[in-house]
Structure 1
Amino acid sequence: MNTLLVLSISLLCGLLTAKLLNRFKLPSVTGYLIAGLFLGPSIFNIIPAEICTDIEYISEFALGIIAFNIGGSFELSYVKKLGKSIIILTLIQALGTAIIVFLVINFITHDLVFSLLIGAISSATAPAATLLVIKEFKAKGPLTDTLLAVVALDDMVCLFIFSISTAIAKVITANTFNIKEAFFTPLLEICSSIILGIFIGFLILSIIKHTKHANDSLVIVLGTILLGCGVAKHLHLSPLLTCMCSGVFIANLYSEKKKLYRQVEFVTPPIYILFFTFAGIGLDISVLSKLGILGLAYILSRTLGKIIGSYIGSLISKSPKVVKKYIGFGLLPQAGVAIGLAMIVMLEFPEFGKELSNIVMGAVLIYEIIGPILTRIILYKAKEIDPNKKSINKTKTISMNH
């Protein structure tokens, strides 16, 4: 099957499946994954998984855009408004989740690298599901405000945790583990990725100031995201961290940033559809069924980590009682960023990447169904939901890119 045929089938089937599932109030990302599942070797084998590997640059480009958009939400003025308590809560719940999942999975597998990476991925939370429920039910109050702030920062924290974990994992798998290598090498990779990201952001800003047309600005941004991904990959740095730092740079120094990010979001849906559909094609149901205990352990330990980590973070940050009691249940949804990180593991650590990817994507399907329901329940119990909105049946569907 030629590449153009693969792209057309993946794009159209991904979109149509998502629209079909939207009627049942399921998120679009679930539709893309299921479309890939049916197209791939697990069910109909219309598109062999090897073909998606040959065009993996699309997935890498999509990840770069996702990271760039995450960085774009990190404005210093916004962070200052949130206050220290929100930052403390976000850091502790993310780190707490990663640590608990790492300990549980390592206890079962005795595989340090595998546990380290899946623990880092577990800290990611998908903001779109939470935002969907809050907007639909017109929720207002301290729990709602805290949820909105934490999900806005959570993916950025996750990317830092993942970058550190990946760098350490590379040192361990290279069989050169010592104290110097364990700390210096990851630190050098992370700092170099940040510096490269700042340079790419500066490059975007320098060129874009001299452009008069919106289309030119869009081409410059997409081109430099590709440049950042390519250079980072060539230098064995983190493309995700590089693109995220570029996004942070633009968000804080470009006066027309909102207009620019809207332009980027306008052209990226086809790339996202292909990315998630390819991820579904790579999902091996037979492997997932054999890893039932490990998959269940991941879901339970991540759920426990979010709840315990959020509670401890709420205590330390002196959050309101309603936040301490419920916020962990509102941070369970997981989607695009987690899948993207799992795809990176498949590329960087092929010896167990397939196994990890199946666990993460299986968990995503579950979390994307139960997550919005739990969010609605806690907002109702916290008495922050509009009393006139009794059912989730009228929820408007939106694209779950994160």
Structure 2
Amino acid sequence: MEATELPNIFVLGIFLMFGGSAYAIARTLRLPRVTLLVISGLIIGPSVLNLVPDEIVELFPIMSYIALSMVAFRLGEAFIDFDFFKKGFPVFSISLGKAVLASGFVFCAAYFLRGDIVFALLLAGLAPASAPAAILDVISETKSKGKLTNTIVSVLAFDNILGVILFSVLLVAAETIAGKGEPTQEILGGLWEIGGAFLLGISIGWIMARLVGRLEKGKPSLLEITGFLFLCAGLAYQLKISYLLACIVLGATVAKNRAQPKQNIFLTVEDVSEPFLVIFFLLAGCELDLSALQSLGVIGILYVLARCLGFVVGGSLAARLVNAEPVVRQNIGWSLFPQAGIALGLAVITLEYFPQLGQFLVSVIVSTTMVFELFGPAVTRWRLYKAQEPQEAATAQSADFAFVQKSK
């Protein structure tokens, strides 16, 4: 190892130590931990104090890929006791309702302001995406349990699926209207991205559920679990399919398979994901640029307002239509505001098809991401408290802090 690399390792050590104390600091400041980490990253990053070496900041893409793959896998845990025919339709309806209305409101706002139907379609396709890592961190920090919390986790699992599908459909519609590309080819590409993710996740999940934990019965190895998880994420990248969707399906396949003590597998991923998530949130803050707020403009403000209104109205209406509990109807849309990497990743895809328009879309999402990442987790935390589901008061003396809810 070169001596010049040691300062970078030192910085990562400081990151992890700060992440370990962030719970206590965030509780004192009455902030969600994820917000504290993102703000801290912003302050020490290039946009403000510039204390973090460029080599560390450049780790963000790979750290994002690893951390979000683990979070996606953990979302699959929601399917352990999930009866799709009894619970699937209500959860799917809520996810669909908020996605459709958010997209619809954003489309109307963008078209009203710019009069460009292609731009309005593309921006509408970015609206449904949420930030599962931030939302799950708030749930874990507050130790929330209950009907609202369970619905949030289940909706997040469906959100990625619906988000990719809706974006693909609207991208094809935008290309058709603009006279670019071949619609049939784009439709097939979208089907491959979604269907391929399902096939990959199910195939690796079926094998994983049967092989992990065979060396020492009942004690799945960390190397085995992370090996299968990274294999799935890596193959998804090579095959150009949604790695988040593939990892959700991987987790769901393991959760529904009876061949393994499933809780041990998810607990292992939960524990090993914590350092990656701490670094991910801090680097996400480093990636933010305060100057982006200057370019927020009217379209950015309308996007934020329309998306939030769509979530609240769509989530509430859909929950009412499927006779969800009052606590879910009143709070579900509010709890899903955070938006980050997934939306930005989808925005980057538009650069390939609409270079100039894509640049503007990316700038809108970058600027609004700052808003959503700073206030979104706080709103999620507020609604969980309003629903009286956090358990942190009863466990304040506990040293066992996890990012995602512990399995039962």
- TM-score, structure 1 as length reference: 0.79
Aligned match of 2:365: 356
Secondary structure of the corresponding residue to residue 335 of structure 2: coil
Counterpart residue identity of residue 48, structure 2:
I
Counterpart residue identity of residue 242, structure 1:
A
Aligned match of 1:249: 253
Contact 1:40 1:47 in 2 (8 A): yes
Residue 208, structure 1, aligned to residue 212, structure 2:
yes
1:344-372, Cα deviation, whole Å (9 max, x unpaired): 34765674545413312321211222333
Contact 1:28 1:400 in 2 (8 A): no
- How far apart, CA to CA, are the structure 2 residues paired with 1:43 and 1:199? 46
What's the offset of the Cα at 1:18?
5.0
Aligned match of 2:355: none
1:195-215, Cα deviation, whole Å (9 max, x unpaired): 111122123124215321677
Contact 1:36 1:281 in 2 (8 A): yes
Contact 1:98 1:122 in 2 (8 A): no
Aligned match of 1:73: 78
The alpha-carbon distance between structure 1 residues 240 and 374, as it changes in their structure 2 partners (threshold 3 A), is: closer
Aligned match of 2:154: 153
What's the offset of the Cα at 1:129?
4.2
What's the offset of the Cα at 1:393?
9.0
What's the offset of the Cα at 1:265?
0.8
Secondary structure of the corresponding residue to residue 58 of structure 2: helix
What's the offset of the Cα at 1:130?
6.2
Aligned length: 380
Residue 239, structure 1, aligned to residue 277, structure 2:
no
Give the alignment partner of residue 60 of structure 1, picking from 62, 65, 68.
Answer: 65
The alpha-carbon distance between structure 1 residues 113 and 357, as it changes in their structure 2 partners (threshold 3 A), is: farther
Moved more, 122-131 or 191-200: 122-131
- How far apart, CA to CA, are the structure 2 residues paired with 1:284 and 1:292? 15
- How far apart, CA to CA, are the structure 2 residues paired with 1:157 and 1:103? 25
Give the alignment partner of residue 227 of structure 2, picking from 210, 223, 228.
Answer: 223
- How far apart, CA to CA, are the structure 2 residues paired with 1:401 and 1:357? 26
Aligned match of 1:28: 33
- How far apart, CA to CA, are the structure 1 residues paired with 2:44 and 2:183? 46
Unpaired stretches in structure 1, ≥5 consecutive residues: 139-143, 380-384
The alpha-carbon distance between structure 1 residues 180 and 108, as it changes in their structure 2 partners (threshold 3 A), is: same
RMSD: 3.7
Give the alignment partner of residue 120 of structure 1, picking from 128, 132, 145.
Answer: 128
Unpaired stretches in structure 2, ≥5 consecutive residues: 352-358
- How far apart, CA to CA, are the structure 2 residues paired with 1:274 and 1:372? 22
Secondary structure of the corresponding residue to residue 121 of structure 1: coil
Secondary structure of the corresponding residue to residue 240 of structure 1: helix
- How far apart, CA to CA, are the structure 2 residues paired with 1:89 and 1:197? 24
- How far apart, CA to CA, are the structure 2 residues paired with 1:349 and 1:6? 35
The alpha-carbon distance between structure 1 residues 105 and 376, as it changes in their structure 2 partners (threshold 3 A), is: farther
- How far apart, CA to CA, are the structure 1 residues paired with 2:11 and 2:131? 33
Contact 2:22 2:37 in 1 (8 A): yes
The share of aligned pairs that are identical, in percent, is 23
- TM-score, structure 2 as length reference: 0.78
Secondary structure of the corresponding residue to residue 46 of structure 1: coil
1:227-284, Cα deviation, whole Å (9 max, x unpaired): 1111111121111111111111100014310111111111211000011111111011
1:39-81, Cα deviation, whole Å (9 max, x unpaired): 2111101125674335521210111111111122123644445
The alpha-carbon distance between structure 1 residues 131 and 91, as it changes in their structure 2 partners (threshold 3 A), is: farther
Residue 333, structure 1, aligned to residue 313, structure 2:
no
Contact 1:307 1:327 in 2 (8 A): no
Residue 92, structure 1, aligned to residue 97, structure 2:
yes
Contact 1:101 1:115 in 2 (8 A): yes
Counterpart residue identity of residue 179, structure 1:
P
Residues 190-339 of structure 1 aligned to structure 2 (within 5 Å): 190-212=194-216, 217-253=221-257, 254-319=259-324, 322=326, 327-334=329-336, 338-339=339-340
Residues 115-194 of structure 1 aligned to structure 2 (within 5 Å): 115-122=123-130, 126=135, 129=138, 135=144, 145=147, 147-167=148-168, 176-194=180-198
1:120-168, Cα deviation, whole Å (9 max, x unpaired): 3259793564687795xx9xxxxx63x2342122111210123224545
Contact 2:229 2:247 in 1 (8 A): yes
Contact 2:91 2:154 in 1 (8 A): no
